[in-house]
Amino acid sequence: MKRLAFGMVLLIAAPALAQAADGGGVYADTCAMCHQPDGAGIPGTFPALTESEIASGDASSMISFVLGGSGAMPAFSYLSDEDLAAVLSYVRSEFAGATEISEEEVAAER
């Protein structure tokens, strides 16, 4: 552990702890602008996730769809397996009542 002094404030830099990806955070950063924070989408422009067969259906199809993109939706293949699994699991649990998606499932589809 390092101790760093900056003026009157003493900061302690601890080693980074391993943390699981934050699906809600990834959603807010990459998806919510189009699909909206509540998953309702923008009618006629960006589809709702709350009534999406992609979100509630087969995990493999959802992973492939998001990795490759479609129409106005860009490909999100730049996301790590961990982040992609986290955001897809968030969408499925928050908006579709479906099961989570694992990093292994994402890796298999890649």
CATH number, domain containing residue 97:
1.10.760.10
Phi, psi of 59 (to 5 degrees): -60, -40
> pLDDT tens-digit profile of 30-59?
999 999 999 999 999 999 999 899 999 999
Query: CA 41, CA 67: separation in Å to the nearest integer?
Result: 19
Structural domain total, the chain: 1
- Whether residue 31 is contained in a domain is answered as yes
| 101 is a domain residue | yes
Intervals of the chain under pLDDT 70: 1-20
pTM higher than the cut 0.85:
no
Q: What are phi and psi of 43, to 5 degrees?
A: -50, 130
The verdict on residue 6 lying in a domain is: no
**Residue 79, CA atoms < 13 Å, CB-side half-sphere:** 28
Residue 27 lies in a domain: yes
Can you give the residue range of the structural domain that contains 102? Answer: 22-109
